């Protein structure tokens, strides 16, 4: 075996193992463990109806449409939005979140209109308004379908949902998205284990080669 060929195997193992280890660590870190608990909570929540909005303080899940009772914002036809500003950082153009316009929002579900208290967060949106090339407003229009997750702060005939998260999804599609995130976390664990084994194998092989060289002297 040539002088350099003996180092080939540990070099290959390290070259393959380290990227696997880094990729796995990133995937594992990006998707927090709390996603699993959140997915279980969403899965067990039934879609609320006009008849079930009666337990104050209970978590609720709504599937409905943005009501025509809402007024347009200062960026029509949007009634609520997140604002993004295009900036140049590290020689790249990027969109950065700047602020939210999230007043009281009315959502229509079968048989009832539900008030979503101001201060909710928009997790995913369906409509966009651009102002020039450097500002973008992403939010909801009247009649857009929405999924609302929050807490029922007022029950009865005029229900109010507070601390809400709103997305352009259904319960089914949202759970599928969470499942994909959990799969990425599991892939991250697999990559980390495989990368660790390959890197460890390369290090062990390197050590054995070093011992052999010392023994030949």
- pLDDT, one tens digit per residue, over 166-179 is 998 888 888 777 67
In this structure, is residue 60 part of a structural domain? Answer: yes
More confident residue, 134 or 191: 134
What residue spans of 54-170 are helical by DSSP H?
Answer: none
Give 140's contacts (C-beta < 8 A, 6+ positions apart).
Answer: 66, 78, 79, 80, 81, 105, 122, 125, 126, 127, 146, 166, 168
Rounded CA separation 168/175 (Å): 13
More confident residue, 133 or 56: 56
Which CATH number covers residue 140? 2.40.50
Tell me the two tokens of residue 137. Answer: 């407003």
**At residue 4, what are phi and psi to the nearest 5 degrees?**
-95, -20
Domain total for the chain? 2
Same domain, 59 and 140: yes
Same domain, 191 and 124: no
More confident residue, 194 or 163: 163
- Looking at residue 192, its pLDDT comes to 61
Same domain, 174 and 164: no
Same domain, 60 and 36: no
Same domain, 83 and 146: yes
Average pLDDT score over residue span 59-69: 94
Identify the domain containing residue 94 by its residue range. 53-168
- Decide the pairing of beta strands 112-116 and 121-122: unpaired
In this structure, is residue 88 part of a structural domain? Answer: yes
Same domain, 58 and 138: yes
Element (H, E) at 193: helix 171-216
First to last CA, the chain: 17
Tell me the two tokens of residue 85. Answer: 């500003």
- Looking at residue 179, its pLDDT comes to 72
Average pLDDT score over residue span 111-139: 92
Long-range contact set of residues 2-8: C-beta below 8 Å, sequence gap at least 24: 6/209, 7/206, 7/209
Angle at 63 between CA 62 and CA 65, to 5 degrees: 115
Average pLDDT score over residue span 22-36: 54
Tell me the two tokens of residue 151. Answer: 């807490």
Please provide the average confidence, as pLDDT, over all residues in the chain.
79
CA 208 to chain centre: 45
Instruction: Say if residues 209 and 10 touch (Cβ distance below 8 Å).
Output: yes
Give me the half-sphere count of Cα atoms (radius 13 Å) on the Cβ side of residue 144: 25
In this structure, is residue 9 part of a structural domain? Answer: no
User: Is residue 148 very low, low, confident or very high in pLDDT (cuts 50, 70, 90)?
Assistant: very high
Task: Give the pLDDT confidence of 11-27 residue by residue, as tens digits.
Answer: 555 555 556 555 555 55
């Amino acid at each position: 075996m040539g002088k350099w060929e003996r180092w080939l195997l540990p070099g290959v193992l390290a070259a393959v193992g380290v990227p696997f280890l880094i990729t796995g660590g990133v995937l594992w870190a990006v998707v927090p463990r709390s996603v699993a608990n959140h997915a279980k909570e969403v899965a067990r929540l039934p879609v609320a109806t006009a008849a079930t909005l009666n337990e104050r303080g209970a978590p609720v899940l709504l599937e409905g449409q943005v009501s025509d009772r809402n007024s347009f914002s200062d960026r029509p036809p949007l009634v609520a939005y997140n604002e993004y500003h295009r900036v140049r950082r590290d020689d790249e153009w990027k969109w950065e979140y700047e602020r939210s316009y999230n007043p009281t929002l009315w959502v229509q579900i079968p048989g009832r209109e539900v008030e979503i208290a101001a201060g909710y967060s928009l997790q995913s949106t369906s409509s966009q308004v651009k102002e020039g090339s450097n500002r973008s407003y992403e939010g909801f229009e009247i009649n857009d379908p929405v999924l609302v997750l929050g807490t029922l702060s007022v029950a009865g005939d005029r229900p109010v949902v507070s601390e809400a998260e709103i997305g352009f999804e259904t319960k089914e599609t949202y759970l599928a998205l969470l499942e994909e995130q959990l799969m990425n976390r599991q892939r991250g664990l697999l990559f980390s284990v495989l990368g660790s084994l390959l890197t460890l194998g390369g290090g062990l092989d390197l050590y054995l080669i070093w011992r052999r060289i010392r023994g030949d002297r």
